[in-house]
Amino acid sequence: MSDERLRLAIQKSGRLSDGSFELLKSCGLTISRGRDKLYGRVQEMPIDVMLLRDDDIPAFVADNACDIGIVGQNVFEEELLSGIHDTPANEVMELGFARCRLMLAAPKEWSFDGATMLAGKRIATSYPALTKAWLEAESVDSKVVMMKGSVEVAPRLKIADAVCDIVSTGATLDANGLKPVATVFESQAILIRNALKFSPEKQAIFDALLKRINGVLRSRD
Ligand code: ATP
Ligand code: ZN
């Protein structure tokens, strides 16, 4: 018998991790977590689980440190568009949880009447590639300012005129005098896989896992 194991990357803690653990549980899989809590082992199938920061998951899978991963489509597409990996991971399927939107938000006092209003303006975002792609599709020429966090304070600090940020309730925007004006990207959790061909043993584990995931997603519809 082969001792090959499928290496799965999931977020250690945050907005993706509950849904990821929940999905595995619904698949009938229990994870025993190692003492260092970076690794876990699935008891029912030959799968190793690596617990990471979500932002690291596309790179771990692209670089073959893991075979598959669960990550936000927003993070995955941003990396894909920015072209940082020679051989990026591939999206396998949408998983239906951790839904959120990347939205353009402007000061409340603007009477926003379309993307052309953004011409010549500075837009702060943690998602420069997705934001630029949207601006290009709208044929608008704006300056994109990259910020790692606290994007919504940028207009108040006069670092930018508008922002492009992940929004769920809009409360954070509101508290900063901003209102959402356009949806740039709709996101949810996705399953990604390394672009290389798996060994037959690994492929068989992957297929068995996919079958379980598909069964769970069908029952959730
Ligand atoms: P980490 O410590 O792993 O880097 P993080 O703080 O960067 O975590 P989270 O806030 O946990 O990330 O968000 C992870 C992902 O969850 C996002 O990239 C997005 O795909 C999804 N998500 C779902 N709802 C929201 C939301 N309301 N705000 C932000 N992200 C959300
Ligand atoms: Zn993160």
| Alpha-carbon gap, residue 187 to 97, rounded angstroms | 9
Of 209, 202, 214, nearest in space to 64 by CA: 202
CB 168 near ligand 1, within 6 Å: yes
Residue 115 within a domain: yes
| pLDDT at res. 1 | 58
Residue 120: both structure tokens together: 């010549």
Higher pLDDT residue, 78 or 168? 78
pLDDT per position as a tens digit, 109-135: 999 889 999 999 999 999 999 999 999
Tell me what the pLDDT averaged over the chain comes to: 95
pLDDT per position as a tens digit, 149-169: 999 999 999 999 999 999 978
Relative to beta strand 143-146, strand 100-107 is unpaired
Instruction: Give the domain range for residue 90.
Output: 6-98+188-220
CB 72 near ligand 1, within 6 Å: yes
Are both 158 and 203 inside the same structural domain?
no
CA of 197 to the centre of ligand 2 (A): 28
Residue 1 within a domain: no
Residue with tokens 């699935």: 42
**Is the confidence at residue 170, as pLDDT, over 80?**
yes
| Domain at 126, CATH number | 3.40.190.10
* Domain count within the chain: 2
Q: Give the distance from CA 116 to its chain's centroid.
A: 28
**Is the confidence at residue 34, as pLDDT, over 80?**
no
